[in-house]
Structure formats: C-alpha cells, structure tokens
Structure 1
C-alpha cells in the first residue's frame, strides 16, 4: 500500500511539473543574457574608417561660410590623433570618438602670426572650438558636421587626402 502511495504521489508531482511554464531564476537570466550572441558592432558601419581616409576642409565656422581659408583636419584612427592647418599654423592633438561623438584633446599648434587680421581671428576661433570640446557629429552630403547642442558649429567639406598624408 505504501508503494502505491509513493508511485501515485510521484506521478501527480510529475504531471503538475510538466503542465507548469518554466521559470528561471535571476542568475539563470543573467547567464542566458551573457551567453546570448550579441549584435556585432560591424553590423553598423564605422564612420571613422571613412573619415580617416579623407581630408576635411573647413567650409563653415559658427554659421559663417568660408572660402579659401586653408583650414583642414585629417584623422589617424590607429593613434587617435588628428593633424591639420588652422589657416596660418599647423595643428594637432588627440581625440576620443565613437559612432556619434568626438572629443578633441590636447590641441597644439605652431605660433606664427597670420599676416591677415581676419585670418588670425578665424584661426583663433577655430582653435578655441577644438580645444577640449566634445561634439556630436554626422556625415551628410559629403560634409562632416560637428554639433554643439544641436547647432552646427563646424562644417567640413570632404576631399581626397594628398598622397603624402595617406
């Protein structure tokens, strides 16, 4: 009689277990999430692979359109450095970037005076905008646009890099 009772209880217990939805503990959920395949970063193209292949000529500074300013930047993604020209002086520094933001760091430049006062003021404004600032950015219509609080502050036109700087 005792054996029949044990068998009946086991069958009832197993039947109830089979009809219940599976539950997972928090640890099991965490382990499953960690083991789940993540969407690879390469699914979204890296804008810096493209940006680093070009020279970016400044065509707009704080809303003012520039022509023949000879202000440009080039980016080295391997070293996280940038180099360029401010119109009168060479410049460079470090940057930290992801797919949506760039932060310029440790901006340096040579210190030759510009012959033209307007060029001097333009270069000073450009350097101030670069020095220790973080911007959101996008690439649209062959321009690299840097935004501060949703407003374009620097717009660069795309150009192939000269052979010597590739």
Structure 2
C-alpha cells in the first residue's frame, strides 16, 4: 500500500520576507552533501530573497540551499505544533549544523514574484553553536500529484452512498497547482484550501454555498466528517480519508 502524506491557510497582514543575516556561511562548509529531494516528494517549500535561499521539506529529507546553490541536508524530523498560535517548529541536526524553522499561517509575499503564499517562515542556521544564517521568508505547501482530479464519494462512515440519483453525487476535486479543493456535499458546493504533510491532511476553512437542501442528502454528515479528517491514503483508484485510525470516507476516480 502506498501511503502519501499530506495540511491551509488563514490570510493575515503583509509579511516582509527579508532581513539581514548575522554572517554568511562558509561555502566550503555548506557543501556537506549534494543530496536533494525528489520534486514529487517535497511537500513544503520555504524561500526568501536578499540573499536568495530556499528550503525543501520532504518526508525523509530537508534540504537547505544558499545563494550559491550549495546545500546542507538534514534527516526529516516531525515538527512540534502550537495550535493556539498556529505555529509549527522544525528542529533539525546534521553534523555541526543546527537548523530551526518556524512556520505560521499568514499572508506572505516575497516582493520579487507574483506568487503569494499563505504561510510565513523564519529560519536560523547554526554552525558549531554559532548563528551563520538567519532570515525570514515565505512557505508554500504542495499537494502530491496523485491527488489531482475528481474523486467520487462511495462510502461515508462505512455506509454506501446512494447511486440512484436521489441527490447530487458527493465528490472532492483537487487542484494540486493551487493547493485547492472543490466539490459537492450532496446538496451544496464546497471549496477551500488543503494542507498535507506526510500522510497527514487537513481541510481548514472550507466554504459552502447556501442552497436550501430540501431533498434527501448526506450534507450535514459530510461536513462534520471532513472537519475530523487527519490523514489520507491512495491505493490505485481509491482515496481513503481517516480520522486517526478510523476510515471515514472512501472515494474513487
């Protein structure tokens, strides 16, 4: 079974993504390894300007690149999470290097491109206990390409979904380019953002249309369950959404 991990955005005040570094890292020492993460494996990209730098976070590896393209690689570690302040903190070690990354929900622009982000980030890199790189930037979650497309709901809380046309077919449709999801609850349309990290997935801030649902439907149960979902799996043409260890929704393409 192939497990694919997947997490959404609150819009806040404009975030300035540049600040002065205390000292530039040594180019020779920065070039520890040339390992990189596959583009399909990366689920979070963090980037900044003046000077340019970026961090790719995948399920097994975290890669920091400086302005000259030299890299420091770290083994992935699960971040701590402060739900009250909507903040995640990664603390990663590699040889004499110590990388700390803070991710917080909030509108962010790098000032150089037309692409805005829904998360702000700040990072600090230490070499043998001394700060060598400290900057602020923007963070952008990515959805795995296998999520792309329209998924039809077949089971909800282990109950089969009617296919007799008595109500609109419930479905989710993922746009992996925009990190968005849309669909139908069996009456109203829904749309919103998606956040994934490893096998984790969240559907925060989902919006629904306001049609009156006079016919039989599963809308209320659908909306209650989608808020509970915490992780997902894809196997073949099946998408399974879980709340903890409990299978809550089964979709097929």
Q: TM-score, normalised by structure 2?
A: 0.43
Contact (CA 8 Å) 2:192, 2:203: kept in 1 or not? yes
Contact (CA 8 Å) 1:146, 1:155: kept in 2 or not? yes
Question: CA RMSD, aligned part only?
Answer: 2.4
Q: Which residue matches 1:153?
A: 248
C-alpha distance in 2 between matches for 1:115 and 1:43: 43
Q: Which residue matches 2:144?
A: 48
Q: Which residue matches 1:79?
A: 178
Q: Deviations over 1:126-165 (max 9, x none)?
A: 112223x45211112411001112121011111xxxxxxx
Q: 199, 203, 207: which is aligned to 1:100?
A: 199
**Cα gap change, 1:79 to 1:113, in 2 (>3 Å):** same
Instruction: Give structure 1 regions of 4+ aligned residues with deviation exceeding 4 angstroms.
Output: 43-47
Structure 1: runs of 5 or more not aligned: 1-30, 159-166
Shift in Å, 1:45 = 9.1
Instruction: Give the aligned length.
Output: 122
Work out which of the two has the higher radius of gyration on C-alpha atoms and give 1 or 2: 1
C-alpha distance in 2 between matches for 1:114 and 1:43: 40
SS in 2 for 1:128: helix
Structure 2: runs of 5 or more not aligned: 1-28, 44-142
- 1:124 has 2:197 as partner: no
Q: Which residue matches 1:67?
A: 162
1 or 2, which has the higher helix percentage?
1
